[in-house]
Structure 1
Amino acid sequence: MTGPDDPVLDALRPWLKPGGAGHVLLAVSGGPDSTALMYAAASLRPTSPLLVATIDHGLRPDAAAEAEAVGRAAHALGLPHAVLCWRGDKPITGLQDAARAARYRLLADHAAQAGADLVLTAHTRDDQAETVLMRLAAGSALAGLAGMRPERQLAPGLRLGRPFLGLDKTALVGWCEARGIPFVRDPSNTNPLFARARLRAAAKALAAEGLTSTRLARLAERAARDEAALRQAAQCALLDIRLSAPDGGMRLDGLRLRDLPEAVALRCIDLAIEAAGGSGHRLERLEALVFTHLLPALRAGTTMRRTLAGLVIGVDARGILIFSPAPPRKNAGPASPTTGLLGNGDPPAYIGDA
């Protein structure tokens, strides 16, 4: 049942290769995907110690019992288990995004306490397809359409890995069923109040039109590849057009910025804003700054002054871009999410099957 051609073990094995310095924390909700992750990891007997954590969001009466069931299964496999509770008030709107942020925060904190340097989740190709569709509906740029990354930094010294992004959920369900491994199904996964649940309900109709999980995952791979190339080009351009400033601030040669491809110039300004200490801006506002005001001013040889992300961004008569802190605004509300560029860092995703 665990031969060398096992796709679940084959996908997971590279993440548990010998030589890992720290512990590996498995995020397990009790659903089929994350349950397969836990049992498959235990069967591979890695040299790095395995830990298991379950998030109890406190949103469903059955959640505590499900977390306890994961704990019993983990202990039967000889794996330490912890239940991490999301405490405090819950938002009325944006609940799933808030729950996602809480999950990652709880996992990162627990990993730091336990000495883990790698967190593994059980996101599948189906989850990736849903993420791409949600980003498409939101009008995202390439970074959003790139979906979830197979690996990213969750916190300093802590990686987040998603070994099953190339597998369909049915493969993990079948893997558990073939071995008689019990799992639960989270009712929120079919609750039409949530966008992901509505997309799951529409999956069959979308696939009939060609929007299969395989094709959407392929789109994510291509978007990630192209976004990485544009980002690298922007990083090189920023180094090339940055000017020295007596106060150590951010100054750019706007005339050279003007001649860059617009997609690179957009990302270059985003990187410059980040380097200048700015934060809290949406893609639409960044695009308005660059395409409606900044580039036209540089092409016309006129001056410009706008505020964005807590910065004043100006173009002087010489075509030099100057980034400086904006004065505090009265009655300013909370900052908008940063672009990340241009997909808010890591897109909304779920730990295991939550």
Structure 2
Amino acid sequence: MSGGPDSLALLLLGASAMPGQVAVMSIDHGLRAEAAGEVALVESICDVLDIPFTSASVRLASGNVQAKAREARYAALGDWATQRGLGAVATAHHLDDAAETLLMRLARGSGLPGLAGVREWTHVLGFEALPLIRPLLGFRKAELEQVVETCGLTPVQDPSNGNPAFDRVRVRQHLAEHDWLDPEALAVSAQHLAEGWRAIEWYAQTDWEEMVALEETPEGLPQYRYFCNVPRAVQIETVCRIVSQLGGRVSRGEAGTAADRLWHGKNASLGGVLARCDIEKFAKVGVEMRVWRFAPEPPRRTH
């Protein structure tokens, strides 16, 4: 909870819709001297509304500031919500955020998972049992600002929201200057893309359950056998999951490159895992199919 108009609207609407059932955390990322006062503002509003309040300060790792702030924020929120036994974490993303995110990711050439954009619900990063919900995705930003104004509150204005050094700010300015780009239509498209991505996730789960089996190598190491006969988008998800199960880490781009090699009869190495391709009869259907086997790469010789 930052004290900006979006988060204050979430606080007010949540308190009205679920009285006595919400709690608030406000985080100082250590990026601006004004942040401590903004946390205090949120605390004072929670005191008036009799809402449990917790403040936190986080330190950011080096790297992309916005990305590291997001990681630190969700880690703090996840720990807090887990300790308090909360049912979910809610954030104040709204319709305009969804439209901006879609345009940003289109410009970056994102795949379907990225284009699915800001989803109504997912899980808190690093806390797979903790839902992350976004109940304001049906609201325009101007509507949320009106909620805050009607309640007589003055929200915080983060200067970074007007800094064109950030991609999102430039996209927001572009939308404001070109009325043929309708944020509501863009948000609807993002929803359609999210539905398509959920279908692929479902298909990938079925692929995992029906076409992947755990074996052992002759040396007694774990090995996954994958009978592959699905579209490339599903192959990528299954390959990522297999590598993860073997203790490796791989991006979807790397998994796609490996899947392309395997599909064309070439072995591949990714995330500390060696993948080999072959053709075998799949007993369930009695036909020959591509089979890929994944096992940890053998240790490299040091001499």
TM range (shorter): 0.7 to 0.9
Q: Does the 8 Å CA contact 2:237/2:252 hold for their aligned counterparts?
A: no
**Closer, same or farther: CA 233–189 of 1 in aligned 2, 3 Å:** same
The offset of 1:296, in angstroms, is 1.1
Displacement of 1:106: 0.6
Amino acid at match of 2:5: P
Partner SS for 1:158: strand
Q: For residues 45 and 97 of structure 1, what CA distance do their matches in structure 2 show?
A: 31
Give the conservation status (yes or no) of the 8 Å contact 1:252–1:322. Answer: yes
1:120-179 deviations in Å (ceiling 9; x for gaps): 111111111122122212211111101122112222442211100111110100111123
Query: Are residues 85 and 244 of structure 1, via their aligned partners in 2, closer, same or farther at CA, if it must alter by over 3 Å?
Result: closer
- Does 163-172 or 73-82 show the bigger shift? 73-82
Cα displacement (A) at 1:328? 5.7
Q: Say whether the 8 Å CA contact 2:232–2:256 is kept in structure 1.
A: no
Q: Contact between 2:277 and 2:293, CA under 8 Å: does it hold in 1? A: yes
For 2:295, the equivalent position in structure 1 comes to: 324
Q: Is the 8 A contact 2:236 2:252 kept in 1?
A: no
Q: 1:189 aligned to 2:158? A: no
Amino acid at match of 1:252: Y
Is residue 83 of structure 1 aligned with residue 52 of structure 2? no
Mapping of 1:342-353 within 5 angstroms? none
Question: Structure 2 CA distance, aligned partners of 1:145 and 1:329?
Answer: 39
Equivalent position amino acid for 2:148 in 1:
C
What SS is found at the alignment partner of 2:88? strand
Question: SS in structure 1 opposite 2:215?
Answer: coil
Alignment of 1:206-225 (within 5 A): 207-210=178-181, 212-225=182-195
Q: Does 1:33 align with 2:33?
A: no
Partner Cα separation in structure 2 for residue 244 and residue 159 of structure 1: 30
Q: 1:163 aligned to 2:125?
A: no
Separation of aligned partners in 2, 1:184 and 1:32: 7
Counterpart CA distance in 2 for 1:187 and 1:213 is 23
User: Contact 1:117 / 1:157 at 8 angstroms: preserved in 2?
Assistant: no
Q: Which amino acid aligns with 1:31?
A: G
Q: TM-score, normalised by structure 1?
A: 0.75
- Asked if the contact 2:89/2:130 (under 8 Å) is kept, the reply is yes
In 2, Cα distance between equivalents of 1:288 and 1:171: 45
Match of 2:17 in 1: 44
Partner of 2:240: 270
- Structure 2 SS opposite 1:322: strand
Secondary structure at 1:324 match in 2: strand
Displacement of 1:243 = 4.1
Q: Does 1:99 align with 2:69?
A: yes
Match status 1:58 vs 2:30: yes
Deviations 1:69-98 (A, max 9, x none): 1111110111121211012x552x410010
Letter matched to residue 324 of structure 1 = A
Question: Kindly tell me: are residues 241 and 35 of structure 1, through their superposed partners in 2, closer, same or farther at Cα, counting changes over 3 Å?
Answer: same
User: Is the CA contact 2:4–2:155 (under 8 Å) kept in the aligned structure 1?
Assistant: yes
Question: Structure 1 CA distance, aligned partners of 2:194 and 2:10?
Answer: 25
> Secondary structure of the residue that 2:92 maps to in structure 1?
coil
Q: Which residue of 2 aligns with 1:340?
A: none
From the two aligned structures, give the one with the greater strand fraction: 2
The amino acid that maps onto 2:252 is L
Q: For 1:147 and 1:183, how far apart are their aligned partners in 2?
A: 26
Residue by residue over 1:260-307, the C-alpha shift from the partner in whole angstroms, topping out at 9 and shown as x without a partner, is 33333333323333333331x23332222122x11111xxxxxx3221
Greater displacement, 125-134 / 262-271 = 262-271
**Match runs of 1:134-283 below 5 Å:** 134-154=104-124, 155-205=127-177, 207-210=178-181, 212-243=182-213, 245-246=215-216, 248-253=222-227, 257=228, 259-279=229-249, 281-283=250-252
Q: TM-score normalized by structure 2?
A: 0.87
Preserved contact between residue 145 and residue 219 of structure 1 (Cα < 8 Å): no
State the one-letter code of the partner of 2:272: G
Q: Deviations over 1:223-243 (max 9, x none)?
A: 111111122222222332224
Question: Gaps (5+ residues) in structure 1?
Answer: 1-27, 298-303, 331-354
Change (3 A) 1:43 1:296: same
| CA offsets 1:20-74 (integer angstroms, 9 cap, x no match) | xxxxxxxx210111111112222235353x2111110110111111111111111
Checking the alignment, whether the CA contact within 8 Å between 1:235 and 1:271 is kept in structure 2 is: no
State the alpha-carbon separation in 2 of the partners of residues 265 and 58 from structure 1.
Answer: 42
Instruction: Kindly provide the amino acid, as one letter, of the partner of residue 168 in structure 2.
Output: R
Is the 8 Å Cα contact of residues 9 and 148 (structure 2) preserved in structure 1? yes
Runs of 5+ in structure 2 lacking a partner? 281-289
Structure 2 Cα separation of the partners of residues 209 and 278 of structure 1:
45
8 A contact 1:190–1:200 mirrored in 2: no
Residue equivalent to 1:296: 264
